[in-house]
Structure 1
Amino acid sequence: MTSLRSVVVGTGSSLPARVVTNAELTERVDTSDEWIVQRTGIRQRYLAAPEETTSVLGTRAAQAALDDAGLSADDIDLVICATSTPDHTFPSTATQIQAALGIRQGAAFDLQAVCAGFVFAVTTADKFLTTGGARRALVIGAETFSRIVDWEDRTTCVLFGDGAGAIVLEAREAEAAEGRGVLSSSLRSDGRHRDKLYVDGGPGSTGTTGHLRMEGREVFRFAVGSVTDVIVEALERAGTTAADLDWFVPHQANRRIIEASADKIGIARDKIVLTVDRHGNTSAASIPLALDVARRDGRIREGDLVMIEAIGGGFSWGAALIRW
């Protein structure tokens, strides 16, 4: 049987038109720019207009990734959208993106692992591609978290933003891939931590969308203390170490969490890709947004060893190692 690798061949991203600074938020809730920056590293975020739905942002990011890869709708036979803020309860946002792009073949579905969704989606797409279930996949992270935050809760509303990012993965024979592709991954979930980060509504419980609720200190403690296990396991499965990484592209939730996690693993801070200052926490969109920024500004280059990592509500967390 031919051995296959899932190789990244394109990236793309999309942000809403409206930029909201910390200064603007001080007019809405009792907070300050100093307080937000000191505790999170966030200076601004993007908020979607009513017509900028999750599928609209996701479609723009996916099209940008296709253009970057030099591919068309006819070349894609799998679409996975990681999101916690779908346009509708059903059909899936992925099918709406599929239709908007003119993709008429293959499968499309959403994946929900909150902020860890993109890592879970990359891992899932990799399984399809390396087992012959698809040839090329669009893997998208798209969110409009501004729709579910409580704008009277100053501890959470300042954290989140809207946006979308996408990559194109292509199945290639291992020899032709020349070492590139998804090398390993590690995923975890522990539903006992539900009350630390959740939305207090849903169609099967309250019949409403609900609002995001978070115990910030508990999330911080768990994120720094427990989730590094998936990074270590992904490195071990690939037979490499943190010292070999060229870039660490984590979920952009909080600068203090990111830096503390990197320090714990032994990842040099100059290898961290940080976009939380300009994007805020965009949940499943944060990693592909950061990947697109770092690739387009020349930091991430072909052959680089890149680690992506995230933790989301549930808790669910994961890491994946990619040779670019």
Structure 2
Amino acid sequence: MRKTLHSVITGTGSYLPSRVVKNEEFISSSFFDATGTRLPKSGAEIVERFAQITDIQERRYVTDDQVTSDIAFLAAQDTLHSCGADPEQLDYILVAHNFGDVSAANKRSDFVPSLAARVKHKLGIENPQTIAYDLPFGCPGWLQALIQADYYLRSGDAKRVLVIGAEVLSRVCDPHDRDSMLYADGAGAVLLEARESDEPVGILCHSTRSDTVQAAHLLRMGASYNPAYEGQELFLKMEGRKLYEYALKTVPQAIKDCLDKAGLPLAAMHKLLLHQANGKMDDAILKRLYSLYGETTIPEEVMPMTISWLGNSSVATLPTLFDLLVKHQFNGNEITPGQTILFASVGAGMNCNAVVYRMPEQGE
């Protein structure tokens, strides 16, 4: 059998911000709805109901001296150290994010130079053939960057691609919107390399869809819900119910389509690494997926979750989760050689994507 090029993950890394923000810190907040009306329930009641709906108990925020490119660099550094890779040998650095660098002192998006260029600078890479660019694609951005990297590697255009997902959502969420409790900060990364193999390994297939006619503005930027808010910032806003319905309709089918494309049954999926957006929503997506196959029994630990303690860090959720599993830092739940992993994400755009990935066997 003729050997072909495959995209294989050879290193992983992440950065979890040091500041832990528990739900209790939001009890004293003043929350308003989209009409500018203050919510009648007490802060304690709002927070308790939020936890029941989302499973989130705490999240991580960066310190005031950090911005997104800083934590992207730390995740990149961790990744390169994990596999002993030479940064000068990287062909591409792809950074997925949505808001650029937003500082604590000036909460405006800063995209120039690109975050990828800033990470390359921080890594001290002199090689001009290490191409660095950003990918804003909503929460599925990191996975879409992984898909782009796969094209580069399988075409022979590249041998090594560093793919980073980093976000600081704590500075773009409205303190008077209860949805602000969803959001978190974090960064994760992987190193992808081209490997010759006569057996399918690494990225087996992928799929992406964008639905913009009806769903483009389910996630958008807008003014604070508090009519008395004096700042001029725009904050991340979400049509929660419509977004939930979109995700439940599209994500399970996208996962099934990707498995079908790979010629694999549902039983071949050892782990589903799903974007950590909302605990209850992810549970509903998982149940819907199994129902598409006529299955009612869902294997335990098939969908590991970090949202209860890391919150929703957008593009960082998938690479962070993957890094924790690969490095056996997930309370007994782990990924092992030979397993088939399904990555899937959904978010602003609206965009949805999925990737089937086969972990290399030892020695591959």
What is the TM-score normalised by the length of structure 1?
0.93
Separation in 2, partners of 1:195, 1:158 = 20
Matched, 1:239 2:278: no
For 1:98, the equivalent position in structure 2 comes to 120
Letter in 2 for 1:85: F
Query: Displacement of 1:132 after TM fit?
Result: 1.1
For 2:326, the equivalent position in structure 1 comes to 295
Q: Do 1:41 and 1:276's aligned partners in 2 also have CA atoms closer than 8 Å?
A: yes
Separation in 2, partners of 1:85, 1:39 = 26
For 1:314, the equivalent position in structure 2 comes to 349
Separation in 1, partners of 2:324, 2:93 = 22
Query: Displacement of 1:269 after TM fit?
Result: 4.7
Letter in 1 for 2:126: R
1:201-260 superposed Cα distances (whole Å, 9 cap, x missing partner): 8xxxxxx76211111111111111222222112111111022111111000001111111
Separation in 1, partners of 2:119, 2:233 = 22
Separation in 1, partners of 2:184, 2:67 = 13
Q: Do 2:173 and 2:180's aligned partners in 1 also have CA atoms closer than 8 Å?
A: yes
Matched, 1:224 2:241: no
1:271 is paired with a residue whose SS is: coil
Q: Out of 214, 220, 223, which is 2:238 matched to?
A: 214
Matched, 1:36 2:57: no
- The number of residue pairs the alignment matches comes to 315
Separation in 2, partners of 1:183, 1:76 = 22
1:272 is paired with a residue whose SS is: coil
1:22-53 superposed Cα distances (whole Å, 9 cap, x missing partner): 01121334354421221101110011122211
Cα RMSD for the two superposed structures: 1.7
Identity %: 34
For 1:167, the equivalent position in structure 2 comes to 190
| More helix by percentage | 1
Query: Displacement of 1:191 after TM fit?
Result: 1.3
For 2:282, the equivalent position in structure 1 comes to 258
Structure 1's consecutive aligned runs of 4 or more residues displaced over 3 angstroms after TM superposition are none
Query: Displacement of 1:75 after TM fit?
Result: 2.6
Separation in 2, partners of 1:65, 1:287 = 14
Matched, 1:8 2:22: no
Q: Out of 153, 157, 160, which is 2:180 matched to?
A: 157
Q: Do 1:262 and 1:268's aligned partners in 2 also have CA atoms closer than 8 Å?
A: no
Separation in 2, partners of 1:303, 1:76 = 26
Q: Out of 141, 144, 147, which is 1:120 matched to?
A: 144
For 1:248, the equivalent position in structure 2 comes to 272
- More divergent stretch after superposition (258-267 vs 314-323): 258-267
Q: Do 1:295 and 1:301's aligned partners in 2 also have CA atoms closer than 8 Å?
A: yes
Query: Displacement of 1:72 after TM fit?
Result: 2.1
- More divergent stretch after superposition (71-80 vs 259-268): 259-268
Q: Out of 95, 99, 111, which is 1:89 matched to?
A: 111
Separation in 1, partners of 2:299, 2:174 = 36
1:273-305 superposed Cα distances (whole Å, 9 cap, x missing partner): 100111101001110011111111261122211
For 1:191, the equivalent position in structure 2 comes to 212
For 1:23, the equivalent position in structure 2 comes to 24
Separation in 2, partners of 1:209, 1:75 = 40
Separation in 1, partners of 2:93, 2:260 = 29
1:85-106 superposed Cα distances (whole Å, 9 cap, x missing partner): 2122222101111111122332
Q: CA 1:179–1:95 in 2, change beyond 3 Å: closer, same or farther? A: same
Separation in 2, partners of 1:98, 1:23 = 38
For 2:299, the equivalent position in structure 1 comes to 268
